[in-house]
Structure 1
Amino acid sequence: MRTVIAGGHGQIALRLERLLSARGDSVAGLIRNPAQADDLRGAGAEPVVLDLESATVDDVAAVLAGADAAVFAAGAGAGSGPDRKQTVDRDAAVLLADAAERAGVRRYLIVSSMGADAHSTFKEPGFAAYLRAKGAADDAIRARTSLDWTVLRPGGLTNDPGTGRVRLSAGHVDRGSIPRDDVAAVLVALLDAPATAGLTLELVSGDTDIATAVAQLA
Structure 2
Amino acid sequence: MHVLVIGANGTTGKMVVEKLANSEQHLVKAMVRKTEQAPDMEKLGARPIIADLEKEFDYVMEDVNAVIFAAGSGPHTGPDKTTSVDEEGAKKAIDYAQQKGIELFIMLSAVGADNPSVAEGRGSMEHYLKAKHAADEHLLNSGLNYTIVRPGSLSDDPAKGRITAAHKLESTEGTITREDVATILVEALLFNNLHNKTFEVLNGEHKIEEALSSI
TM-score grouping bracket, smaller chain normalisation: over 0.9
Consecutive unaligned residues of structure 2, counting only runs of 5 or more, are none
Name which of 186, 191, 195 aligns with 1:197. 195
Structure-2 change in CA distance of 1:63 and 1:173 (3 Å): same
* % same residue: 32
Give the Cα–Cα distance (whole angstroms) in 1 for the partners of residues 184 and 146 of structure 2.
Answer: 15
Q: Does 1:159 align with 2:156?
A: yes
CA apart distance, 1:158 = 0.8
Q: Which residue of 1 aligns with 2:141?
A: 143
C-alpha distance in 2 between matches for 1:95 and 1:118: 22
Hey, what does 2:4 align to over in structure 1? 4
8 Å CA contact retained: 2:155, 2:178 = yes
1-side partners of 2:126 and 2:114: how far apart? 9
Deviation by residue 1:3-54 (Cα, 9 ceiling, x = unmatched) = 0011110111111111111113211111112221122122211111100101
Q: Are the aligned partners of 1:119 and 1:132 in contact in 2 as well (CA < 8 Å)?
A: yes
Match of 2:188, SS?
helix
- Find the aligned partners of 2:93 and 2:135 in 1 and give their Cα distance: 11
SS in 1 for 2:121: coil
Letter in 1 for 2:158: P
Hey, what does 1:38 align to over in structure 2?
39
| Matching residue within 99, 112, 134 for 1:115 | 112
CA distance in 2, matches of 1:173, 1:72: 26
Structure 1: unaligned runs, 5 residues or longer:
none
Q: Runs of 4 or more off by more than 2 Å in structure 1?
A: 117-123
Matched, 1:102 2:103: no
Q: Is the 8 A contact 2:98 2:142 kept in 1?
A: no
Whether contact under 8 Å (1:173, 1:202) holds in the other structure is no
1:81 aligns with 2:78: yes
CA deviation map 1:47-104 (0-9, x unaligned): 111001011xxx42x3212211001110111111111111100011111111111111
Q: CA deviation at 1:212?
A: 0.5
Aligned residues: 212
Report the secondary structure of 2:181's partner residue. Answer: helix
Q: Deviations over 1:125-146 (max 9, x none)?
A: 111111110111111111122x
CA contact (8 A) 1:90 1:134 kept: yes
Q: Would the aligned equivalents of 2:140 and 2:146 in 1 still touch at CA under 8 Å? A: yes
CA distance in structure 2 between the partners assigned to 1:174 and 1:85 by the alignment: 26
TM-score, normalised relative to structure 1: 0.93
SS of the counterpart of 2:74? coil
